[in-house]
Structure 1
Amino acid sequence: MKTLSDEDLMHEVSRGNLDTMSFLFERYHMRVFNFLYKMCGDRDLSEDLTQDVFYKVIKYKDSYNGGKFSSWVYTIARNGLSNYYRTRKEDNSKLEEVMYKLGEEYIEEESGEEIAHLHRMINKLKPNDKELLVLNKLQGIRYEELAEITGNTAGAVKVKVHRAVKKLKEFYFQKI
């Protein structure tokens, strides 16, 4: 079972073989957690949302249409984070700022002033640009998969990532 592709494992899950879900969980739970943590900066929230992602994978196993599993699971994660903030009753006025800031705790875990500076500059990006950079450059998601996740074409995603990198460079090398 360990040698099966993600898509084959998900087909087994959708057929009712829920034991194969453990292999997908092992492959993806840290990736999903890291993505969510880099997007919201809240470890507890990221853990809860990661758990919810895999609950939804099982719950909506019948809706899996055979596409790239990683695209599907990251779409569930993005939507879960977005829904969390949209439905919160607390101060939603700072939704974008909170949702897309890297947590102080994360910055402190990294070593060096340059890394901290880079994270601060990533925080200056627009939320969509930050999300693309986190998924592409930090999570290693290819343009084709990002296109599936975001509902764009691969060419459009490539251009958006290039522009986000260019904007990040401008911020990073800006004199303070």
Structure 2
Amino acid sequence: MAHGSDELVTAARAGDQAAWRGLYLLHTTRITALLRALPLADHSSSPEDLVAEAWLTASSKMHDFRGSDDDFGGWLFTIARNHASNSHRTAVRRRTDPTDVPLDPARSTGEDPLAQVDGQDTVRRLLDQLSPRQAEVVACIDVGGLDVRTTARALGMSPTAVRVARHRALGRLRTLLDDA
């Protein structure tokens, strides 16, 4: 069943399984790539786990959501980010130090956005050099493809603060790359 871009949320709220599938296909890869680009604090929760938790939360709170299909992506990212923050707090309390897991070379090649982010360990190291807020802004806009307005809403910032944080982050990244 095909839906227009503003009809998926309405149809999903009404229980249409095809609409849920459409929302899932539209947003899951991007949200997972966003979480993969952010520094991981809790290595026991993978980005895929956090996205699955976000979908469960979104499905149970769908009646509270008001907005378009585009707004849904920002709302879902906010939920996923909240799960990541909770996971981070748990990891800090546990204070475990995982060993590095080598990347699967099969996943680092191909057109899959998740594999591209996995294969770019340099991106993670560079984002680690930024403040957490700047790293989130760059991940949302430049990795996840969210617009400034959606990023601002997802991160609880004003659009101007998002633009400033991105500007400063990109300047810092240019400096780091020039030094390298």
Equivalent position of 1:174 in the other structure? 179
User: How well do the aligned residues superpose, as a CA RMSD in angstroms?
Assistant: 3.0
Identity %: 22
Give distance in 1, aligned partners of 2:24 and 2:84: 19
Counterpart Cα distance in 2 of 1:122 and 1:77: 19
**Which residue in the other structure is 2:31 paired with?**
32
1:150 and 2:148 are equivalent in the alignment:
no
Q: State the partner residue of 2:12.
A: 13
Residue 51 (structure 2) aligns with: 50
Where in structure 2 are there 5+ consecutive unaligned residues? 110-115
CA contact (8 A) 2:3 2:19 kept: no
Aligned pair 1:90/2:94, yes or no?
A: yes
Once the two structures are overlaid, the 10-residue window that deviates more, 161-170 or 16-25, is 16-25
Q: CA deviation at 1:164?
A: 0.8
Question: C-alpha displacement at 1:39, in angstroms?
Answer: 1.6
Q: What is the distance in 1 between the residues matched to 2:140 and 2:80?
A: 12
Residues 133/106 of structure 1: CA separation in 2 closer, same or farther (3 Å cut): farther
Q: Which has the higher contact order (CA 8 A, sep 6+)?
A: 2
Q: CA deviation at 1:14?
A: 2.1
Name the SS of the counterpart of 1:130 in structure 2. Answer: helix
**Is the CA contact 2:37–2:124 (under 8 Å) kept in the aligned structure 1?**
no
Aligned residues: 163
Question: Any unmatched runs of 5+ in structure 1?
Answer: none
Deviation at 1:82, TM superposition (A): 0.6
Change (3 A) 1:109 1:123: farther
Q: So what's the TM-score if we normalise by structure 2?
A: 0.76
Q: What is the CA-CA distance between 1:79 and the residue it aligns to?
A: 0.7
Change (3 A) 1:34 1:106: farther
CA displacement at 1:87 relative to structure 2: 3.2
DSSP-derived class of the 1:2 partner = coil
TM-score, with length taken from structure 1: 0.78
Counterpart of 2:179 in 1: which secondary structure?
A: coil
Q: Deviations over 1:111-158 (max 9, x none)?
A: 9xxx65554222211111111111111111111111111222212211
